[in-house]
Amino acid sequence: MLKTVSGGVCAAKGYKASGIHCGIRKNKTKRDLALIVSEVKANAAAVYTTNLVKGAPLTVTKSNISDGKAQAVICNSGNANTCNADGIEKAEAMCKLVAEELGISEKDVIVASTGVIGQTLDITPIKNGMKQLVGALGNNSQEAAEGIMTTDTALKEIAVEFTAGGKTCTIGGIAKGSGMIHPNMATMLVFITTDCAISSEMLSKALKNDISETFNMVSVDGDTSTNDMVSVLANGMAGNEEIIAEGEDFNAFMKALNTVTVYLCRCIAGDGEGATKLLECKVSGAKTKEIAKTVAKSVICSSLTKAAMFGADANWGRVLCAIGYSGADVDVTKIDVAFISSKGTVEVCKNGAGIEFSEEKAKEILLEKEIEIKVDLNDGEYSSAAWGCDLTYDYVKINGDYRT
């Protein structure tokens, strides 16, 4: 039985976090450095952006957790430390600063950065702020979540309790992500902590299986970023027998992990740059899982569909169009489409053709903050979902002068 609890990345036993303004960002009211620490060394796993241009922190993190272990996470916002000649050196320096202050190995540190690409990262503010950052460690998940934000307008955190091996376990996460969001992975950072005892191998398997249905199904603007990472620490302090194979306990862990990741996906999509609405495309009746995923992604990535949702225009033809160019093997004469929100449901397409519906009712439904685009392919048993947002004038305003 899953239960939502407070505390984010500090909800699980043995974790502390902090977030401060150290001076990377000019705005002194915004935190720009975050830290998460486990009392004991934890099993670790991570997944990274598919972009060939990768931030230096990803390279360093991949090396550091190649043994499946980590104890701390350090992340700065305001500078991505990407495409810099000294990027690796700076990322390693961040790990060393954390390690020296905490008395742990620099190889047990996950490092991440987010912000502007191609600008040299000044390590001085991080060095000067490290003692304050470590000194502020406590039940401060929210401060850490604020420290990793860039253009985000809303804090993103969650935690849930579940049972494994007869023990109560907890898993929690924080995330950032608002623009440059597109499968596979997005311009996002997600840090997850759990006190569940699970081997590094099974932790990695769980994470990789999960992101194909969650973070790889989120799109805001079609741009895949360079610094994306999802990392998980599992310190085993819940006291359950370590999960080393598939089975009932592994399934319970997967369900809890998925609850956390789906929630964070929805937060990221709903907080898309300039967005006013969260869009969720639910596809059913597909011949294969891959077809369902391809269709859902195509609809949620369609700029014309996103613009129609911004205008509360039930232009269902754009949904059909997106399905048609997706490359998925579908029978367009079987497709049904409906729009759903808290105001009700309006069916707009049946068997690939338009049907009569009330434009007034459709407008009322599409003016809500959360919209479901329901697509039934009527051709099989598989389903999938993808998340995105509407496309607004403000998206261009935000990104027109992002660097300056």
Q: Provide the terminal-to-terminal Cα distance of the chain, rounded to the nearest Å.
A: 49
- Letter for the amino acid at 168? T
Domain-ending residue, one of 220, 247, 270: 270
Looking at residue 296, its pLDDT comes to: 96
Write out pLDDT tens, residues 199-229.
Answer: 999 999 999 999 888 888 887 555 556 678 8
Catalytic residue among 82, 170, 187, 392: 187
For residue 71, give the nearest of 36, 19, 20, 112 by alpha carbon. 36
Looking at residue 275, its pLDDT comes to: 79
For residue 156, give the nearest of 47, 257, 8 by alpha carbon. 8
Domain count, the chain: 2
Residues of the chain scoring pLDDT < 70: 178-187, 220-226, 272-274, 398-399, 401-404
Shared-domain flag, residues 160 and 84: yes
Q: Are strands 186-194 and 229-234 parallel, antiparallel or unpaired?
A: parallel
Shared-domain flag, residues 337 and 238: no
The pair phi, psi for residue 383, each rounded to 5°, is -140, 165
Q: Are strands 353-354 and 344-350 parallel, antiparallel or unpaired?
A: antiparallel
Q: Could you tell me if 55 and 228 are in contact, meaning their C-beta atoms sit under 8 angstroms apart?
A: no
Shared-domain flag, residues 129 and 39: yes
Write out pLDDT tens, residues 361-401.
Answer: 999 999 999 999 999 999 999 999 999 888 888 777 766 76
Shared-domain flag, residues 215 and 331: no
Domain at 20, CATH number = 3.60.70.12
Looking at residue 187, its pLDDT comes to: 55
Shared-domain flag, residues 210 and 340: no
Shared-domain flag, residues 140 and 266: yes
Looking at residue 395, its pLDDT comes to: 72
Domain-ending residue, one of 223, 244, 270: 270
- Find all residues with CB under 8 Å of 245, minimum gap 6, and list them: 202
Shared-domain flag, residues 211 and 303: no
Cα-Cα-Cα-Cα dihedral sign, residues 372, 186, 99, 90: negative
Looking at residue 166, its pLDDT comes to: 96
Residue range of the domain that includes 304? 278-400
User: What CA–CA distance (Å, rounded) separates 160 from 260?
Assistant: 7
Q: Could you tell me if 213 and 230 are in contact, meaning their C-beta atoms sit under 8 angstroms apart?
A: no
Shared-domain flag, residues 243 and 285: no
Which residue, chain included where needed, has tokens 């069916």?
347
Query: Would you call 91 helix, strand, or coil by DSSP?
Result: helix
Looking at residue 24, its pLDDT comes to: 94
User: What CA–CA distance (Å, rounded) separates 236 from 38?
Assistant: 10
187 has catalytic annotation: yes
Shared-domain flag, residues 205 and 113: yes
Q: Could you tell me if 199 and 243 are in contact, meaning their C-beta atoms sit under 8 angstroms apart?
A: yes
Domain at 326, CATH number = 3.10.20.340
Shared-domain flag, residues 67 and 199: yes
Shared-domain flag, residues 289 and 242: no
Looking at residue 404, its pLDDT comes to: 56
Domain-ending residue, one of 270, 295, 316: 270
Shared-domain flag, residues 292 and 227: no
Looking at residue 302, its pLDDT comes to: 93
